[in-house]
Amino acid sequence: MNNPISCPLCGMASTPFADGLYRNCNGCEGIFLSVEKLPDQKTELTTYKAHNNDVTDKRYQKFVSPITKAILQHFDPKHKGLDFGAGTGPVISHMLQIQGYSIVQYDPYFHPYPDLLKDAYDYIACCEVMEHFFSPKSEFALLKSLLKPGGALFCMTHIYEDSIDFTKWYYRTDPTHVFIYRKSTLEWIAKEFGFSGLEIDKRLICFWN
């Protein structure tokens, strides 16, 4: 009998997935590492610091451009933004600030300013962050609570599709990628947390408040 380890997002039971290191949720269909396999802080920091995130790197700017373009399209400098999980190189903040936008950075390791999580924002950027959530339920509840009415949460992650060979997939070789999302998982999040809309365009995910 499979061990019914519960999903950290929806709480439903799960079954072993692919090579057995990850588990597949029977409810929201997320794919996750069980608690005993989660990386420790040293592993997280070592992995994050190894990322060469230069905010002036044109390739890096192009990579995050789906989020910056979406923010520029829907919001203007008078709106207030949060770069959640900004990391070692807050390129989204950099690109918006040079255009006069007001955006602040929060990251538990590199921008540890918890008072920022007591404010409210018109838009939140969360780029290549949600796959690192140990507790996605509490993280999405927090992000939803930080949005003003009519605001938007812009995320980027590589969404898993069944056509992908998970055992060979580059995304699961990163030890800090602890929760992987399917399209159905994102739809579950939008409904469960009361977002008014969900838009998915390749890696770009927009939750509207």
The Cβ of residue 138 has, within 10 Å, a number of other Cβ atoms equal to 12
Q: In the Cβ-directed half-sphere of 70, how many Cα atoms lie within 13 Å?
A: 27
pLDDT for residue 1: 41
Q: What is the DSSP letter of 111?
A: B
The Cβ of residue 209 has, within 10 Å, a number of other Cβ atoms equal to 22
Class of domain 39-157+190-208: alpha beta
Q: What is the DSSP letter of 36?
A: G
Q: Which residue shows structure tokens 């159905």?
A: 184
From the CA atom positions of the chain, what is the Rg in Å? 17
Cβ atoms 183, 29 nearer than 8 A: no
The Cβ of residue 101 has, within 10 Å, a number of other Cβ atoms equal to 21
pLDDT in tens, 115-161: 999 999 999 999 999 999 999 999 999 999 999 999 999 999 999 99
Q: Which residue shows structure tokens 């999040």?
A: 189
Domain boundaries, the chain: 39-157+190-208
pLDDT at 2 over 60: no
pLDDT in tens, 162-179: 999 999 999 999 999 999
Cβ atoms 121, 80 nearer than 8 A: yes
pLDDT for residue 44: 92
pLDDT in tens, 44-65: 988 888 776 788 889 989 999 9
pLDDT in tens, 99-115: 999 999 999 999 999 99
SS3 16: strand
pLDDT for residue 52: 66
